[in-house]
Every structure is written in structure tokens, then in C-alpha cells.
Structure 1
Amino acid sequence: MADRHMFTWQQILPIAVVATSISFIAGCSMPVARSAGDKFTIPVNLLVRQQNRDPTTSQNTALIVQKPQAYQQVVARLAQAQKAQLLNFPLPSEFQGKTLKDIKFKSKNKKDKAIIKQPLLKPIALTFDDGPWEKSTSQVLDILKKNKIKATFFVVGRQVQMYPQLLKQIVADGHALGNHTWSHQYHMFSQSAAAREIDKTSELIYKTTGVKISLFRPPGGFLNNGLAAYAHQKKYAVVMWSADSLDWRYRQPSTLIDRVLREASEGGIVLMHDGGGDRAQTVKALPQVIAQLRKRGYKFVTVPELMEMEDRQLLANKN
């Protein structure tokens, strides 16, 4: 319970800081920023008196000046910091150093189990690997935003290095992040090499977004090449999948849609890709995947939200 209280204060504190900072900045701006919109006016006679010469125009004439960029930059940084803080969820202990492919909801209480089985409460998590990618990541983000869905992105370090702004956009849109190594290789790794692949990626993600990573997905789903072992040692949750779109193999969107629908399940984790090559078929299939899953009574959550739901249920069962 102490962890939950701490998490609550971690959420409240950045919100209070943002509110106080914005109020202070806005208060400082009020004496001069009187007009609506992104502009304010300064009377010509005031500017001229400061330059020790008489005004040549009416006192009602004004200069239109842009608001200081610093104001907008500070607000943006504070908002980004708050968003990152909200995404820094504490990984429940039952998932630390463990591997999972889905969440199996179990309840001792038949009444509770019946409630969980209601169609509108069937959670499923969409996940996207191998990004950020120059074109397709933005397209996927647009589709998710249009449908008001939060997903989980397992990102590759070298891609983050190439497209940091895309990673920032993923966080700004409220999606969860996971580590997918630095170079996305399948071969065997020594412990030191595995450490470089995983640590370097998590460090860059934190430096870019302020998000601390606790989820890891091994490239190709390989669990025995040294990467997953190091991730377990570092208390990451190693996240696999229960529904594979195989969008890296098939070029027909209809095939991807059929595979996801056939393998979808309550508490399931769907594997798709926003990077690693041409993902035009994924972009085409995604709206239909979303629509058809919703029609079947699924609601979309992030992997951390799935874990939190399971954690709450475990606590309820203990009580």
C-alpha cells in the first residue's frame, strides 16, 4: 500500500508544480499581456519615452509584438515533465523479473468474475515494435488519437537516436513505452553485451522523455540469447504477446485483421509493428482491427494498465 500512496503523491506533485508555475508565469505576464490570443500591445509613446524622443504618432497607435517564446517553452516543458511522470508507473512486484504474454484475470468471487466478463470490460493491449519510424509511426499515432486509444510502443534505441521528436510525440499522446534493445539483433549476447543493448536504450529514452523504463521485449521474441536473462536480472517485466498479426510477413491487410481477431482474448497483448520496414499494410489494417475488436466487446488499454488491473484484483482476492 505504501507504494500506492507514493505513486499517488508522485502524480499529484508534478500537477501542483505545473499549476503553480503556469500561474506564476501568467501573473507576471498580466501587466503587459492584455489582449486576447497570442499577441499583446505596447503603446508607442511608452517605447518612445524610453528612447528619449517624442512620439510621432497618436498615443492610440500600438506596436504588435509576439509573446515571448520563453513562456510557451516553459509551459511545454512542464507539461512534458508531468506527462512523463504519469507514465513512470511503479511496476507491481509480481511482474518484476518475470515474463508474460497476457494477463489471466482470476477471481475467487463468482460475482466479481461475472462483472469482469462483461463485454465492455474485456481489456486488450495493442503493442507496436521497432519504431520510431519516420512515416509509419506518425500514421499509427494519428489513428490511435482519432480512436482515443492508448497503446504501448517497444522502441529501438538507434531509432530513438534518429527520431527523438517522434518518441516525444508518443509520450505526449499518453502512450506507454518499452525497451526493444539498441540494435534489434537476434544473436547470442554475453551479459556485458546484453547490458549495453538494454541499458543504453533505457538511458536514451529517459534522457529524451523523462520516462523510466520497466518493460522489455526481446527482438524476435527470443528468450534464450542472453537479453531476457539480463532484463530479468534488472527487474524488467519481459512482455511477449498472445496475438501476433505477423504484419512483417503478410502484405494483405485482411490477413492481418483476421489473425488478430482470431487470436484476440481478454487480457491479451497484440503484436504489431510501426517500424522496421514498410508498414503500409499495418497502417491500412489498424482502423479495422480497432473497429472489429470494439464490436466484439474489447476495450483498449496499455500493458501497464493491464498489470495494474491484475494487481488490483490480486489485492482484492487477498482481502
Structure 2
Amino acid sequence: MLACLVTILIAGTYGPLQSFVQAVKSRPTASAAIMNEQSEDQLMSWIKSEAAKQNQSPINPVIDRVWKAIPGYDGRVVDVKATYLKAKLIGFKPENAKGFPWIYRSVKPKLALDDLPMEPIYRGNFAKPMVGLMINVAWGDEFLLPMLQILSETGVKATFFFDGTWLAKHMDTAQNILAQGHELSNHAYTHPDMSKLSAARQREEIGKTEQLLKKLGVKNVWFAPPSGYYNSETVKVASEYGLRTVLWTLDTIDWQKPEPSSVVSKIYRKVGPGTLILMHPTSTSQGALRGMIKAIRDKGFVPGTVSETLSSERVEDRL
């Protein structure tokens, strides 16, 4: 009789008892969810507290007494929500701050280079870890093709400033250079001293070469005066064609045929953020180019075109 009563009691309470057991079993899962939510809140709090340390203010372009027009540089702010979601997705913890996957949004300066008076440019912004390669071409192609091969092998793009008389005879070569992703720009037509020419003659020199570039489909934005000779009229005339006058920060002086090793050493010692390096298709620059690129990269800078170096865009993602 007692056994039957026990059986009945157990049978009668089995449903509620089973529910209770299931609830108890589910408690660790609920606790884990709460802990996970707390961890996520902790992660978000940490990101918010650290974000200000990662932000960088944009830098406006300026007219410098020595360097003339210096481009600006974009700032950055942490995209808190995107950073949080990425960190959560890959399981990053705040204690792993060294390699934390920050996501940024760029912030443009209040002023752009075009807002400044029309002055020549000798360098990029001091805060931008990029170096521009300027290759002025006014004679031959004996060393030009090997230099193009080196640029291809090292994955670097450069800006080629063409003398118009050379360009008129080597349009196929220029088209090939363009097809390889390099930048093509204007170096006048007959390599004159621009500072000694009338405004009309300067217009002719720049205009004739610009016409050749347009035949190649190039939308050019730079003018490099031959031998660096220019005056205020040069800058003004170039601007009539939508071009800014650009010179260089660091000269290889390769036309004097120094040893390639000495050029590489010079670049390593003197290159800095925003430097524009001038060279020509010479035996010296052919021999030094690979070493120059390595020196630039070893110093923590990105080698590239003049336009890339003088833009305000950030380059962290390319380092």
C-alpha cells in the first residue's frame, strides 16, 4: 500500500519536478549569457575610454616661408561602433590592446590646398609618412626601361615629368608607362629656363606638352619647371592650365654620375615624411633605384607618386 502511494506521489509530481530540473540545468547557460553581456559592456567601455588616445586632429595646409605651399593631412577618429563589432566578432579582449583592431574614419582639414594662394610646392606634409618619386625625362630611354622594370618588381609607382620634345618622339613608351599605373606630368616642351621667358612663351611651353599628355588620355595636375627655374609668372601660367608648380625636396644629382651607393646612402640619411625625390633616367639612378626604395621603406615610409604624396589622404593602411 505504501509502495503504491509513493508511486502515485512520484507519478503525480513528475511533471513539475521535471520542469524544475530543466530550469536548474538551464541556469549555467543563463549565467553565461549574463556574463557575456557584462563582458561586452566592459569591452565597449574600454573602447570608449581608449578611443580618444587614438584620435588625431586634421592638419590644415599652410604657406611656409621656406617650403612655400605645404599640403594638409587628414585626421582620424575611432569608429566606436564598428570597432566594437569587429573586436566582438574576432574575440578580441581589452587586455590584448597591442594588436587591437581599431577602425577609423578620416576627418578632412577645414582648408584644402586649393584654398591657399597659388605657390609652388616642394614637399608633402611633415606628418604624412610617404615619399614621392619624381623622374624627369628629357633624353633617351636606355636607362628608362630598366628603371621601369625595377619599379614593377618592387611594386612602386612613380611620377614621370616629360619634356615635350622627348614625349612627341616616344608616345608609345609613354603609353606603356601610363599602362603600368605610373603618373605622367608636364616638364615643359624644350627644357628652357622658364624664368627667362615671356608669359606667352611660357604658355606655349606648357601648353604644347599638355596637349601631348591629353592625347594619351592623361588628366594632369602638375608642372615641374626644368632645372627648377621659375618665377611668379610661371606659377600663374601653369595655373591657367589647372596645374600646380611642383619642385623637389631632395635631389639625387644623378646627372653628375655619382656612385649609386652614394645616392642610396644620401637618401637613407636625408629622406623624411613628405619628401619629393628628384631623379632622371641615368645609369646612376638605374643602379640606385632599388636601394633607394629599400631605404625609404626601411625608414618607415611609403614610396609612391607625387599626387599620392601631396594629397591629404592618410596612408596607415599601406604601411
For the aligned pair, the TM-score class normalised by the smaller chain equals 0.5 to 0.7
Which residue does the alignment assign to 1:49?
none
Answer with 1 or 2: which has the greater Rg.
Answer: 2
- CA shift, 1:176, in A, is 0.9
- CA shift, 1:235, in A, is 3.6
Deviations 1:196-219 (A, max 9, x none): 100000101111x10122100001
Alignment of 1:1-319 (within 5 A): 93-94=114-115, 97-105=118-126, 122-131=129-138, 133-186=140-193, 188-207=196-215, 209-224=216-231, 226-274=233-281, 279-308=282-311, 310=312
- CA shift, 1:140, in A, is 1.1
- CA shift, 1:296, in A, is 1.6
Report the CA distance shift for 1:96/1:128 in structure 2 as closer, same or farther (over 3 A). Answer: farther
Secondary structure of 1:300 counterpart: strand
- 8 Å contact 2:119–2:235 — kept in the other structure? no
TM normalised by structure 1 equals: 0.59
- CA shift, 1:259, in A, is 2.3
The code of the aligned residue for 2:290 comes to: P
- 8 Å contact 2:257–2:283 — kept in the other structure? no
Structure 1's unaligned 5+ residue stretches are: 1-90, 107-115, 117-121, 314-319
The code of the aligned residue for 2:125 comes to: K
Q: C-alpha distance in 2, partners of 1:159/1:172?
A: 18
- CA shift, 1:241, in A, is 0.9
- CA shift, 1:174, in A, is 0.5
Report the CA distance shift for 1:268/1:183 in structure 2 as closer, same or farther (over 3 A). Answer: same
CA RMSD of aligned residues (A): 2.3
Q: C-alpha distance in 1, partners of 2:187/2:146?
A: 20
Which residue does the alignment assign to 2:4?
none
Report the CA distance shift for 1:142/1:96 in structure 2 as closer, same or farther (over 3 A). Answer: farther
Deviations 1:260-309 (A, max 9, x none): 222211011111112xxxx111101111111122112111121111232x
Deviations 1:49-76 (A, max 9, x none): xxxxxxxxxxxxxxxxxxxxxxxxxxxx
The code of the aligned residue for 1:244 comes to: D
- 8 Å contact 1:129–1:272 — kept in the other structure? yes
Secondary structure of 2:287 counterpart: helix
Deviations 1:129-150 (A, max 9, x none): 0247322221111110000001
Structure 2's unaligned 5+ residue stretches are: 1-111
Q: C-alpha distance in 1, partners of 2:176/2:117?
A: 27
Identity %: 28
Report the CA distance shift for 1:287/1:311 in structure 2 as closer, same or farther (over 3 A). Answer: closer
- CA shift, 1:223, in A, is 2.0
TM normalised by structure 2 equals: 0.59
